[in-house]
């Protein structure tokens, strides 16, 4: 089993693209890093780096060994966290995997407004299917996703967020609070890869309704920026920006919403702490984003609060 320090140097070189850059990253002199890499190669019995005078490249063995090295280092960090937890340390850091929208609109405000004692939260941006795998692999401790988690993870429904249609103040809908799903077939839509967009387009497709996508972008905030410039109606579940006017979207079943689920590994050494943190996030969401489908007056009030808070 190679020294973990050697693995760190190897991963640093692979990430930095050169021995000199890796040496600066790990704060060790370049000759020492080169020497340690030679020791690692002798330990594993093969060359991991090409040394032909050209740009640094991993050998085929190096490319195959790199994910193994990363996994060993990650598992070492998990083991240290387990040890600290068993010793009763109160400086536990939990990593949450979620989409960028969830991190910005939900997790970051929750961290800012909530005293979690000795628990610190970090977040990594992941699409739902990758977020679930991150929990299974140990890269993340908790996933917050808009898609139901797999059965092998512990989970519960945290909240339901309304999908909103965003228009600028010049749009005829700017005096309204709600729009029917069928009405979206007659306007240019601005969509993204976000779950709110997928939810609405899926509903339109299921009903055989045609629609016009004027712009499809990757980042939801850009979709709102396009709506603010009058390019169309943005379909998102994000909080409003750029002084846009949000409208709830309704169909025959009521408000169109997207769900957010919390999921974690049942066998995690800090499973009780993770669930407790997720439950606190659930209560936070219930306070900040109350259910919008009770009656129209409450819906108007909440949408107005979301709009005002974003200005």
Residue ranges of the chain with pLDDT lower than 70? 1-2, 78-91, 291-311
Helix (H) or strand (E) holding 40: helix 30-44
**CATH 3.40.190.10-classified regions of the chain:** 93-159+259-288, 164-255
214, containing H or E segment: strand 212-217
**Nearest alpha-carbon partner for 35 in 22, 53, 17, 54:** 22
For residue 268, what pLDDT is reported? 84
CATH of 93-159+259-288, one of 3.30.450.60, 3.40.50.720, 3.40.190.10, 3.20.20.370: 3.40.190.10
Dihedral angle over CA of 98, 101, 106, 110, nearest 10: 80
pLDDT at residue 120 in the model: 84
pLDDT value of residue 246:
92
pLDDT of residue 142: 93
Protein fold of 164-255? D-Maltodextrin-Binding Protein; domain 2 (3.40.190)
The answer as to CATH 3.30.70.360 being correct for domain 4-86 is no
Residue 309: how many other CB atoms lie within 10 Å:
11
pLDDT of residue 304: 45
Q: Give the model's pLDDT for residue 307.
A: 40
Residues counted in the chain: 311
Report how far residue 77's alpha carbon sits from residue 186's, in angstroms, rounded to the nearest whole number.
Answer: 54
End-to-end CA distance of the chain: 56
Sign of CA dihedral 237, 258, 210, 300: negative
The whole-number pLDDT of residue 153 equals: 93
- What per-residue confidence (pLDDT) applies to 269? 77
In angstroms, rounded to a whole number, what is the distance separating the alpha carbons of residues 12 and 25?
Answer: 7
CA-wise closest residue to 80 among 91, 64, 70: 91
Strands 257-264 and 154-162, bridge-based pairing: antiparallel
- Residue 291 CA to residue 172 CA, distance in Å, equals 27
The H or E element spanning position 144 is strand 142-145
Q: Where in the chain is the domain with CATH 1.10.10.10?
A: 4-86
């Amino acid at each position: 089993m190679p020294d973990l320090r050697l693995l760190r140097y190897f991963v640093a070189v692979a990430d930095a693209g050169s021995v000199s850059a890796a040496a600066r990253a790990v704060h060790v002199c370049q000759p020492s890093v080169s020497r340690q890499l030679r020791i690692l190669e002798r330990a594993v019995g093969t060359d991991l780096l090409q040394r032909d005078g050209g740009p640094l490249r991993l050998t085929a063995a190096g490319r195959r060994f790199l994910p193994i090295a990363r996994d060993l280092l990650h598992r070492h960090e998990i083991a240290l966290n387990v040890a600290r937890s068993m010793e009763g340390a109160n400086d536990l850091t939990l990593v949450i995997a979620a989409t960028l929208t969830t991190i910005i609109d939900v997790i970051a405000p929750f961290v800012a407004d909530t005293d979690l004692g000795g628990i610190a939260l970090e977040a990594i941006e992941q699409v739902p299917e990758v977020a679930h795998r991150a929990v299974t692999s140990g890269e993340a401790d908790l996933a917050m996703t808009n898609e139901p988690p797999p059965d092998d993870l512990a989970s519960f429904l945290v909240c339901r967020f309304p999908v909103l249609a965003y228009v600028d103040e010049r749009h005829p809908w700017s005096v309204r609070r709600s729009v029917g799903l069928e009405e979206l077939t007659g306007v240019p839509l601005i969509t993204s890869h976000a779950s709110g967009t997928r939810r609405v387009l899926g509903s339109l497709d299921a009903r055989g309704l045609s629609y016009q996508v004027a712009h499809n972008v990757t980042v939801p905030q850009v979709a709102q920026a396009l709506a603010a410039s009058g390019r169309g109606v943005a379909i998102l579940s994000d909080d409003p920006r750029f002084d846009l006017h949000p409208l709830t979207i309704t169909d025959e079943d009521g408000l169109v919403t997207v769900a957010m689920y919390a999921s974690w590994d049942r066998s995690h050494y800090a499973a009780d702490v993770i669930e407790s943190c997720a439950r606190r996030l659930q209560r936070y969401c219930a306070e900040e984003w109350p259910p919008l489908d009770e009656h129209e007056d409450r819906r108007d009030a909440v949408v107005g609060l979301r709009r005002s808070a974003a200005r």
